[in-house]
Structure 1
Amino acid sequence: MFVDEVKIYARAGHGGRGCVAFRREKFRPKGGPDGGDGGDGGSVILRADHDLNNLIAQYYQPRLIAEDGEHGLGKGMKGRSGRDLIVRVPCGTLVWRLSPPPQRSTREEPDQPNRLPTTVRPLLPYAGRPDPERTAAALVEKVQVPGPVRGELVADLTEHGQEFVLCRGGRGGLGNKHFATPSQQAPRFAQPGEPGEEGEFLLELRMIADVGLVGYPNAGKSTLLTAISRARPKIAPYPFTTLHPQIGIVEYPDYKRLVVCDVPGLIEGAHRNVGLGHAFLRHIERCKVLLILLDMAGTDGRQPWDDYHHLLEELELYDPALLERPRLVVANKMDEPTAELNLRRFKRRVPHTPVLAISAGLGEGIERLKKVMRQAVEAASPASSTWIRPPR
């Protein structure tokens, strides 16, 4: 099962409460306050991993809860900090915040005799863990991206090993030894731990590939992916055989490799999410080069030049910047009898558009196509694979 969008609930660990204790040893019956601090709560951290290709792990485990910190003990012993929960996600994952983070406040535990009264000084500046807003390289500004509104975009994980602190753990409370003063030498209160951050998030996967195959259903995209790589997607003579993106690796004799993404077929109205258009279109936003594959034989009764104009229209309506990407126009099924005539008519109706003729089923023109794909990817801007449209 392929999962490219999942809603999760994340909660960091709560900090342990400080301890109220007094030192009682031989010859020191009144040694003063000696309560230890509580441990810090664990954080929920997302880590990008290129070995993953979908979000199926989060689909079956949508609740991500880190470990709480332990409470402080006597004799000045600090509680153990909670372990961070590191969640691996595929590269190309967008993180959307669906609910605003709750305001941080000190937890009150009325059943505990050592909770902090309201008159005690506030918590000291946080120093046990770095601020995620400064250390997380994945943190991005509030921007608008194509597609439906999903909330606030908080992270974009594109590189292997990139981390983002989704929810920061709460700080542990201070023991009563920190509140001893000349006028109050035996404080009988301590701080409770801070609650960990929590919220609901949406994880959305957008494939990162060098080349994206775009075309109508039954145009031969899966057949082409099989011809240029070792990927083996399902191939059948009916539309919508491919229901989710397929990834293939194109290898060259000099060990150069290209990542090709086979996007399910688009239909008219895909920009309005007709036929799950948004679920398919979002996977080509990070591709450096778009390969427009046309059924030049008109197998399904459509004209190739109409297909070409409709595909460009759908791309423009979904995101106008997609038309600025380098694109290749490939005529497939040239082994059919009507393909040659349609190709000549296509060149007259769509002038100044280079067309590469192939037959993916017979393997004709595949080597030339691989060379052209490599030249186009090398000439493309390397930043185009991680581009996000700025706000208007």
Structure 2
Amino acid sequence: MRIYLDWNATTPPLPEVLDAMRDAAARAWANPSSIHKDGRAARAVVEDARASVGALCGADARDVVFTSGGTEANNLALRSAFGPHAKAVKEASAVGEVPWLLTSRLEHPSVTRVAEALASEGRARVAWVRAKEDGTLDLEDLARAIAEAKGRVALVTVQAVNHETGVVQPFAEVASLARAAGARVHVDAVQAWGKIDLGVRAPDVCAIDPSDLGPWDTVSIAGHKIRGPKGIGALITRTGLRLEPVLLGGAQEKGLRPGTVDPLLAAAFGAAARRAQTSAASWASIAPRRDRLEAALLAIGRDARLGAPIVVGDPARRAPHVSTLAWPGWIGAELVAALDLEGVSVSSGAACSAGTVEPSPVLAAMLGEADAARGIRCSLGEDTTDAEIDEAIAAFRRVMTR
């Protein structure tokens, strides 16, 4: 029996997600951009999914742009804020300045690497806001950077939930500081939807003020993180916000994301989004199981020759299903390999960084370079059982004490 404790990397699709995909394959396989009957049937499936994603995110369906996933959504959000037609870019250029981007090394690579690219292209001045040892963005340092920019901040980015530590970021406070400075706010909520309460309002309530999306101007989501399919995600925008495409091609997705939308993926994404509207309570119930695993691993570490690990991130601020530990005397990737041989799947960082030899930038920002390569992330899910936790603990004990 294999024990899967890597739900932050991807989640197993729900039965209703697979059913939705099979149904769409049978009746809505045509090109949704075609105007004939077959195309209209496919288009109906896509638009139904768009409405479901909008309902989850508290947005009008018209403000949902389908992408290939969270990475593309983050790219679109960042690059749009520094496009030639962006208001902040025009204002900064008028006085011979470069607009500012404020972010941190806690962010996903699809944010940090785009920030680095924008800086190297001369399109943005990037200020890297300090990360605190508890795994949160330093709000005082953010306020300092905003003051230093003197009104030229084009964009502030922040995660809702960190992909490696599970720490819930103070995204509402970040948004408040950014908006007071007239800056756009992007929240990477890929790891948050359906797992924690993000405080979004229903679209019919938001219709009172369609410009109010919540504590962000753009927010990203990925299908496979909410028990949907891989290969599809979305960027949701505040009504009236202008985006600029990253890719060029056809007029799909209002010209913002060229390429044929797959009705099968859209149908499955919509089914997952509908389930995610009510799944936060289910994920909250995972916390006792996560805490039991963590307590047992700490005890094993105290008994082992190399010593006890440290819990990475403030335990009081974490999403309910994530535990990241830094193990003395172990390289994270080696411990992952040893546990894999024991039938337990965990990770040593973001799945998108697998195969690299560099330590985790997130853990380096929090703990320093020395401990950045020692992290192990266990992320549980709705299907994780007590028996699986027992077996995972036993596997850790075999590895750590042999």
TM-score, normalized by the shorter chain, greater than 0.5: no
Larger radius of gyration: 1
Tell me the TM-score normalised to structure 1 length: 0.25
Tell which has more relative contact order, 1 or 2 (C-alpha 8 A, sep 6+). 2
Q: Greater helix percent: which structure?
A: 2
